[in-house]
Amino acid sequence: MFKLKTIKGRLRSFVFAWKGLSHLCLKEDSFKFQVLFSVLFVMAGFYFKITPSEWFAQLGMMALVLSLEGINSAIEELANYNQPEHDLAIGKIKDISAGAVLVAGIFAFIIGIIIYIPYILALI
Ligand SMILES: Nc1ncnc2c1ncn2[C@@H]1O[C@H](COP(=O)(O)OP(=O)(O)OP(=O)(O)O)[C@@H](O)[C@H]1O
């Protein structure tokens, strides 16, 4: 059985995670941009009345892109904290981290096209 201390510890971790999420939403421009994009796609989903499996694909990609964007921001923060000076290794680490977000973004774009092109063509 869970001890009360363990439950309190889990709750504390949850509060810290919310602090991190509010930092991302308020301070990180790239994360804010991705949230804006996600909101637009949710609005498009309601507008075109996409199917449950299309919602599944769309929400899955949104979760992936936003999570990777958050991890990318954390890596950038860590890199800046450890090495504020110009450094080739830090530049490479940041580029690789940004590249991981780009991979998810490219797949999200492709899935967006697969979902919405038939709905858009039906309007024409
Ligand atoms: N300390 C550094 N040393 C070498 N190159 C760096 C350094 N900091 C940044 N760079 C290079 O500049 C690019 C952009 O870095 P930056 O930290 O501004 O990321 P960003 O994606 O523009 O940030 P944000 O997501 O906050 O807009 C990096 O991907 C890297 O190529």
- Going from N- to C-terminal start, the domains of the chain cover 28-123
Residue ranges at the known binding site for ATP: 28, 76, 94-95
Tell me the CA–centroid distance for residue 69 and ligand 1, in Å: 14
Tell me the CA–centroid distance for residue 35 and ligand 1, in Å: 21
Dihedral over Cα of 68, 70, 76, 81: its sign: negative
In sequence order, what DSSP letters do the residues of 21-45 get, joined into one string?
A: HHHHHHH-HHHHHHHHHHHHHHHHH
CA of 80, closest atom in ligand 1? 1
Look at residue 109 in the predicted model and tell me its pLDDT: 97
Look at residue 1 in the predicted model and tell me its pLDDT: 62
Question: Which mean pLDDT values do the consecutive 10-residue runs of the chain (124 residues) have?
Answer: 81 95 97 97 98 98 98 97 96 98 98 97 92
Look at residue 51 in the predicted model and tell me its pLDDT: 98
85 annotated active-site: no
Q: Which CATH class is domain 28-123?
A: mainly alpha
Look at residue 124 in the predicted model and tell me its pLDDT: 87
Can you tell me the ipTM of this complex? 0.87
Look at residue 32 in the predicted model and tell me its pLDDT: 97
